[in-house]
Structure 1
């Protein structure tokens, strides 16, 4: 029995029945052309609506924000209508869902963005990073990213406006709120981290300057839809997609304090989750708890087959976290909360079906006790 995870919690204007989060996971099933959320995706999310909160896969805020083939957007009328199918399906099942707003910055290829050169904080290529493009088959074709161009002041103003409009679009699409993707080496992260931001204007150099883009984007989101419907995801200690910070504890404690001033409803921290990765320093978690008053969500290595969610419960009981995200376990276990609550065995996902394709590996995983044929 995983007790702490099954206590209710208030999240802005929402009362959630449990503290289990399904975090954003790219699945690349959007309809083409147009990168439109569809009935298949609606079924997928509705199957998992027993989570306390679902955060959608990243949905790009503009054509230039797209990093990977077949990922959904949230900037066109058709895309809004597609997401309305998803949110309606989740709400029918009693769930709550936030949209993750995504701009990849330099983590893309011209084939994914209409032949344009990607944009970033600085003209610095992400080394040893690949993205996938539509190569005319059902299997993604992986290619190296290219060197981006540094964003001008006009670019920055435009992208902030795109974030603001995307938040409004998300509410029109029926989402309960939005999560700003400021993690995993994507655009906002490219401004924050010292090694990817070489700017010499007010958006680069000092820590205050490197956090300015985050500050202005969040300010626009809060102004558009209200702080009670805005969450932010950070990844302080990962080096995904080539972003590295020289002093992540200092940088991300300052980021948490900045976000607290905006009174956002939650801060979602992605921890490093490969098998032999170091633990997030307890000193950092304590510092974040001290400076951030909203709901704290942590995700990454909070489930093991042997101990199941023991680590997650401990994190909540110790006050380090308020909610816990379980990513990959949700892929093959649509009824993950029930399995955690009752100690049922977990199914393993098929890694070959994570990205692209159709129903297989997306909506054909059964709930516990139900045969796959049913």
Structure 2
């Protein structure tokens, strides 16, 4: 592992250290861990002891948002990602949540249905991927036999779309049964819920396609069902306006997301988590105006001081970081004492063993070395 000797003046970070409430979640400060796929669960989607250690190491973050977790067999897209739809998954996640809570942390499970971003080799049932419409992504996907093109997905029937809502409901119930403090609904990054929002993947003519009102319907129905099942105060949702990841196109970003956030606002969810594209300042201001509860903001690779300014400016209540938390299990302590930060090893991000997962040094280990 390498260390970045650049440090950040603690005075510039002072707005981070104020506590805040997000629904039923009482956060001790305002720096949270963003969801990051790590591909290190058991083949059947059950989290393991290694996952528990990974998350517990980072328990000093204000909130841990887990990696994307499939709510059903159809929801899986990648190898070795966790699930939360059967008893084995619940028991596996219980090991994780217990470890985080024992370390003093708070953890929500991100519910992610990948939709068309899948391959039969990566799923337990080996079936064709599902999507709003039979439109395949241009990008290939990694499988056990290497990179493979993604075949045309099967279009969900109207009844099956309603079934997706129930999959999220059941998964949310299972997440709470596993000891999680809440869930985050993944309506971003080109996965199923954003596929319904999109201009290019959603070519439906039923009540889930066509107009903006129809395209936002699934995200709103999922959020309402999850909030009804586990409580709005335990429910968050993530969006990424205009994000082209996984070959998504949204021609009406500002109007689309203003409508979506306006429709979600009456649900009184714990938080809205916005992943910014970096060129959306006016839209972020509008979404902040429309959203009545806590707003989490992820600025991608923007420096941390700039993100803190978002709190000072009222644009965000909490900021989330990904690779900084991945590479620095004790990130909060390092920032408070102005210690050097570890540099993330990108070659170990996805899959593998403990290397690049559990062995990033903490300040105590670095001093001993």
1:80 is the counterpart of 2:97: no
SS at match of 2:42: coil
SS at match of 2:344: coil
Measure how far apart 1:9 and its partner are. Answer: 0.3
Q: Aligned residue for 1:27?
A: 38
Q: Aligned residue for 2:299?
A: 300
- Asked if 2 retains the 8 angstrom alpha-carbon contact of 1:30 and 1:70, the reply is yes
SS at match of 1:334: coil
User: What TM-score, normalized by structure 2, do the two folds share?
Assistant: 0.94
Which structure 1 segments of 5+ residues have no match? 136-140, 273-278
CA–CA distance in structure 1, aligned partners of residues 259 and 301 of structure 2: 25
1:56 is the counterpart of 2:66: yes
Q: Aligned residue for 1:286?
A: 285
Q: 1:345 aligns with which of 327, 340, 348?
A: 340
Measure how far apart 1:302 and its partner are. Answer: 5.8
SS at match of 1:72: coil
Measure how far apart 1:131 and its partner are. Answer: 2.1
Which structure 2 segments of 5+ residues have no match? 1-9
Measure how far apart 1:340 and its partner are. Answer: 2.2
- Closer, same or farther: CA 302–126 of 1 in aligned 2, 3 Å: closer
The 5 A counterparts of 1:73-112 are 73-112=83-122
Measure how far apart 1:197 and its partner are. Answer: 0.7
- Asked if 1 retains the 8 angstrom alpha-carbon contact of 2:275 and 2:297, the reply is yes
- Asked if 2 retains the 8 angstrom alpha-carbon contact of 1:68 and 1:112, the reply is yes
Q: Aligned residue for 1:185?
A: 190
1:321 is the counterpart of 2:332: no
SS at match of 1:325: strand
Measure how far apart 1:372 and its partner are. Answer: 9.3
- Asked if 1 retains the 8 angstrom alpha-carbon contact of 2:25 and 2:234, the reply is no
- Asked if 2 retains the 8 angstrom alpha-carbon contact of 1:302 and 1:312, the reply is no
CA–CA distance in structure 1, aligned partners of residues 300 and 209 of structure 2: 33
- Asked if 2 retains the 8 angstrom alpha-carbon contact of 1:193 and 1:210, the reply is yes
CA–CA distance in structure 2, aligned partners of residues 366 and 200 of structure 1: 53
- Closer, same or farther: CA 6–302 of 1 in aligned 2, 3 Å: farther
User: What TM-score, normalized by structure 1, do the two folds share?
Assistant: 0.93
Q: 2:240 aligns with which of 231, 235, 241?
A: 235
1:244 is the counterpart of 2:249: yes
- Asked if 2 retains the 8 angstrom alpha-carbon contact of 1:167 and 1:225, the reply is yes
Task: Work out the number of aligned pairs and report it.
Answer: 357
Q: Aligned residue for 1:275?
A: none
CA–CA distance in structure 1, aligned partners of residues 234 and 96 of structure 2: 18
- Root-mean-square deviation (CA, aligned residues, Å) is 1.4
SS at match of 2:362: coil
CA–CA distance in structure 2, aligned partners of residues 260 and 62 of structure 1: 27
Measure how far apart 1:200 and its partner are. Answer: 0.9
CA–CA distance in structure 2, aligned partners of residues 372 and 80 of structure 1: 38
- Closer, same or farther: CA 303–47 of 1 in aligned 2, 3 Å: farther
- Asked if 2 retains the 8 angstrom alpha-carbon contact of 1:194 and 1:210, the reply is no
CA–CA distance in structure 1, aligned partners of residues 357 and 289 of structure 2: 39
Runs of 4 or more above 4 Å deviation: none
Measure how far apart 1:346 and its partner are. Answer: 1.2
Measure how far apart 1:342 and its partner are. Answer: 2.5
Measure how far apart 1:285 and its partner are. Answer: 1.3
Q: 1:125 aligns with which of 133, 136, 144?
A: 136
- Asked if 2 retains the 8 angstrom alpha-carbon contact of 1:167 and 1:221, the reply is yes
1:142 is the counterpart of 2:147: yes
